C-alpha cells in the first residue's frame, strides 16, 4: 500500500506538461481545486474526469500510475461516503430502518464528496509528478514574492513545503523497511482485529519518528554547513519564464473555470 502513494513523487519524462512553468501548474491546480467544489452536477464531473485523463496523457505518465494514488485513501473516501449517507437528512427518503435513514439528498452529497476527494488526489498528484521539487520551490516562492513587501516569508514557506513533499517518498521507504524488520520479529500489521493492529503500530511509529527527527537534524546541519541563509542575495541556475505554452495553459484554465461556474446553471 505504501508504494501506491504518488503524492510528493516526481515522474521524470519529457512532455508538454513537464515543460510548463511551475507557476502555471500551481495556478492551474488552484483553479482545478476551486472548480471541484464549484461544480454541483454529475455530467460536469464526468467532463472533469475526462480532462484529468487528457492532461495525464499529455504528461506521458501512465494513467494507472496516477490512479494508483487513490488506493491508500480508499478507506477515508469510504468513511466520508458512509457518514454523508447516514447522517445527512433530506425530504425524499429512499430507505429506512429504524432511526437510520438514507435520503436522496444525502446519497447525492455522499457521491459528490467521494468524487471531489478522488479528483483532489488526482489533481495534486499530477502537479507533483510533473514538477521537480526545485521547480516547485521556485514556483511557490515566485507566486508569493509580492507578499514579501508586507514581511511574508515567501522563501521559507516554499522551502518548508518542498522539503515536506520531498521527504514523503523517503519516509515511505523508511516505513516499509521498519515494517519488514518488525514483521521478521513477529509483529502482525495485517490482523483483522483493529485493536491488535493499533497496538502493533507502536513499534512502527516510534522508530519512524526517531528516524524523521534524525533526518531533519542531519538536513539542518548540512544546510548550515553550506552557509545556507535563506533566499536573500541568492541566484538561481534556471530562471522562471512564462512562455507561449504557459499562456495557452492559463487561457484554457480560465475557460475551464468559466465552464465550472456555468455548469451550475445548466440542468
pLDDT in tens, 107-120: 888 888 889 999 99
Task: Give, in degrees to the nearest 5, the angle at Cα 139 between 137 and 143.
Answer: 120
Residue 45 CB coordination number (10 Å): 19
pLDDT in tens, 50-66: 999 999 999 998 888 88
Provide the whole-model pTM.
Answer: 0.74
Please check whether residue 141 is in contact with residue 158, taking contact to mean a CB–CB distance below 8 angstroms.
Answer: yes
Per domain, the residue ranges of the chain are 1-131+239-267, 155-234
DSSP annotation of 238 reads S
pLDDT in tens, 201-230: 777 788 888 888 888 888 888 888 887 776
Please check whether residue 140 is in contact with residue 158, taking contact to mean a CB–CB distance below 8 angstroms.
Answer: yes
- pLDDT-derived band at 3 (thresholds 50, 70, 90) equals low
Overall average pLDDT of the 151-161 stretch: 77
Report which of 6, 46, 52, 58 is spatially closest to residue 29, judged by C-alpha positions: 52
Is pLDDT larger for residue 100 or for residue 11? 11
d(CA 90, CA 224): 59
% pLDDT > 70, the chain = 85
- Predicted local distance difference test score (pLDDT) of residue 209: 84
Q: 2-6, 78-82, 142-146, 219-223: which has the minimum mean pLDDT?
A: 2-6
Overall average pLDDT of the 125-149 stretch: 81
Partner residues linked to 2 by β-bridges:
none
**Three-state SS at 261:** helix
Amino acid at each position: 500500500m505504501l508504494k501506491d502513494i504518488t503524492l510528493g513523487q516526481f515522474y521524470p519524462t519529457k512532455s508538454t506538461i513537464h515543460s510548463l512553468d511551475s507557476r502555471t501548474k500551481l495556478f492551474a491546480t488552484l483553479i482545478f481545486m476551486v472548480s471541484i467544489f464549484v461544480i454541483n452536477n454529475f455530467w460536469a464531473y464526468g467532463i472533469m474526469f475526462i480532462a484529468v485523463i487528457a492532461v495525464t496523457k499529455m504528461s506521458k505518465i501512465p494513467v494507472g500510475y496516477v490512479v494508483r494514488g487513490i488506493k491508500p485513501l480508499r478507506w477515508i473516501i469510504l468513511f466520508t461516503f458512509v457518514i454523508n449517507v447516514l447522517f445527512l437528512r433530506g425530504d425524499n427518503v429512499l430507505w429506512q430502518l429504524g432511526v437510520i435513514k438514507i435520503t436522496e439528498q444525502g446519497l447525492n452529497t455522499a457521491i459528490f464528496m467521494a468524487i471531489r476527494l478522488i479528483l483532489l488526489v488526482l489533481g495534486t498528484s499530477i502537479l507533483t509528478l510533473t514538477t521537480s521539487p526545485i521547480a516547485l520551490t521556485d514556483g511557490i516562492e515566485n507566486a508569493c514574492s509580492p507578499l514579501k513587501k508586507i514581511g511574508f516569508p515567501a522563501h521559507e514557506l516554499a522551502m518548508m513545503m518542498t522539503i515536506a513533499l520531498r521527504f514523503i517518498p523517503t519516509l515511505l521507504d523508511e516505513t516499509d523497511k521498519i515494517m519488514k524488520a518488525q514483521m521478521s520479529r513477529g509483529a502482525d500489521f495485517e490482523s483483522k482485529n483493529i485493536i491488535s493492529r493499533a497496538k502493533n503500530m507502536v513499534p512502527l511509529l516510534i522508530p519512524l519518528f526517531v528516524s524523521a527527527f534524525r533526518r531533519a537534524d542531519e538536513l539542518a546541519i548540512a544546510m548550515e554547513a553550506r552557509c545556507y541563509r535563506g533566499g536573500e542575495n541568492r541566484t538561481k541556475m534556471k530562471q522562471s519564464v512564462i512562455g507561449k505554452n504557459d499562456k495557452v495553459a492559463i487561457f484554457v484554465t480560465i475557460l475551464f473555470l468559466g465552464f465550472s461556474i456555468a455548469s451550475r446553471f445548466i440542468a
